[in-house]
Amino acid sequence: MTSATTTSSALASTRIPYTLTRLGVVMDVDPTRPEEAEGVLNPATVRAPDGELYLFPRLVAAGNVSRIGRARVVVEDGVPVGVERLGEVLDADRGWEHGTGHGGVEDPRITWLPDLGVHVMSYVAFGPLGPRPALAVSTDGAAWTRLGPVQFAYDDALDTDLNLFPNKDVVILPEVVPAPDGRPSFAVLHRPMWDLSFARPGEQPPLPAGTTDARAAIWISYVDADEAARDVRALTRPGRHTFLAGARDGWEEAKIGAGPAPVRVDEGWLLLYHGVSGEIVDGGFSPQQDVRYCVGFMILDAADPSRVLARSTDPVLEPATEDERAGTVGNVVFPTAIEVIDGERYVFYGMADTKIGVARLDRTDG
C-alpha cells in the first residue's frame, strides 16, 4: 500500500497526443418507454461473436430507478448514428441491488478478457447502503451471469476495510499486467468514497492510513491471474490496493473517477477519466444540480499501470452543446465505453444524464 495524496507521482509529461471530437447523439429517450422516463445514459459496449456492436445503456425509470438495457448500434459510413433496442439484460432483482426509492443497477462498463474468454461487466448496485460495485460475466454479450458484489481484500496496512465504503467507477484492464509484487494479475481501477452518510449522517469517518484528502479519487487493485483462470469469481476479490490519482486542477476539484477500461496505445495505457467541479451535496448519492463533469486523459505505464506517466492539465471534452448542458443533471459529459469501428476509435458517453453521445478519439501528431 502506498501513501495517498491529492496528486499522483511526478509526471514525465503533461502532453498527451490524443483528442476527442464530438459527433452527436447516438441514443435518446423513447417517451413511450416507462423504463426510460428519466434518461438513457452511461453505456457499456460489446463486440459480439456475430460481429455486431451492442450498446448496454443505463435506463432510468421514474424515481431514479435504473436497469441495464441492450441495443444494437446502427453504423452508417463507419460512424455510429443510432440504436435498435433489444430489451434489458439486468434488472435490480436482488435484494442487495434495491435501494429505498433511488436504486437499481447503474453505469455499466464492460471489458473483454481474452485470457479468460469472457466479457466482464462491472456495474453499480445501488442498494440499501448506497452504491457498491458488482460484476457479471457473459460469453456472448446477450446472457449475463452475476458474480456478485465486489469484496475488497482486507489490507491491515490501510487501517480500514474498503468494504465499509461506497465505491463506483470500477473498470478492469483487458490484459494481464504485473502487480507491484510481480505476479501476473488483472488490474482493477475503482473509486472508494470516504462517506458513510447513508448509515451515519453528518459523520466523517477516519481516512485510510496515508490518505490526507477525503475527496473521491482513483485507486488500483489487483486479482491474481492464475486464481481468476481457475475461478472467474476471483475477479470479485481484488487486493493489493494502491492510490492512483486524485483531484488536482480546477475543472476536477471536487472528485475524479475512471471512465472506460483503459486502451493500449504506444505511450502506455490511455485512460479517459471524468473530473467534477461545483458543489456536491448529500454525499453525491442523489442527482446533483450544481456540478460540472468534464473529461480528461491519463497515460498509465504499460508495465506498471499504478504509475501515471502523463495527465491532462485541461479537459479534453467539456459540456458545450445543449444536449450536454440541459438534462436530468445538467453540464455532464461522462465517458464509459471505447470501441473500434472500421479502424477508428469511438467513445460513447452520457450527456447530462439524459442521452448518449459519441465522439471520435484521434491521435494528433502535431
Could you report the per-residue pLDDT of 308-323, keeping only the tens digit for each? 999 999 999 999 999 9
pLDDT tens per residue, range 253-305: 999 999 999 999 999 999 999 999 998 776 666 677 789 999 999 999 999 99
> Which grid cell sits at 336?
464509459
| pLDDT at residue 14, rounded to an integer | 60
Is residue 35 pLDDT above 70, yes or no?
A: yes
Q: How many domains does the chain have?
A: 1
How far is the C-alpha of 111 from the C-alpha of 122, rounded, in Å? 8
pLDDT tens per residue, range 135-164: 999 999 999 999 999 999 999 999 999 999
- Name 76's Cβ contacts closer than 8 Å, sequence gap at least 6: none
- 10 inside domain: no
- 145 inside domain: yes
pLDDT tens per residue, range 190-233: 999 999 887 788 888 899 999 999 999 999 999 999 999 999 99
How far is the C-alpha of 216 from the C-alpha of 284, rounded, in Å? 11
When pLDDT is averaged across residues 63-74 and rounded to a whole number, the result is: 96
| pLDDT at residue 98, rounded to an integer | 86
- 9 inside domain: no
| pLDDT at residue 15, rounded to an integer | 79
| pLDDT at residue 10, rounded to an integer | 42
- 7 inside domain: no
Give residue for cell 455532464: 332
When pLDDT is averaged across residues 327-351 and rounded to a whole number, the result is: 97
- 313 inside domain: yes
Is residue 3 pLDDT above 50, yes or no?
A: no
| pLDDT at residue 280, rounded to an integer | 75
How far is the C-alpha of 359 from the C-alpha of 347, rounded, in Å? 5
Core vs surface per residue 146-183: b (16+ CB within 10 A) or e: bbebbebeebeebebebeebbbbbbbbbbbbbbbeeee
- 23 inside domain: yes
Give the global pTM: 0.94
- 298 inside domain: yes
CATH number at residue 115: 2.115.10.20
- Give the domain range for residue 304: 18-363
- 5 inside domain: no
When pLDDT is averaged across residues 28-33 and rounded to a whole number, the result is: 97
Strands (DSSP E) found in 173-301: 177-178, 184-192, 218-224, 239-245, 255-258, 263-265, 268-278, 291-300
How far is the C-alpha of 318 from the C-alpha of 250, rounded, in Å? 13
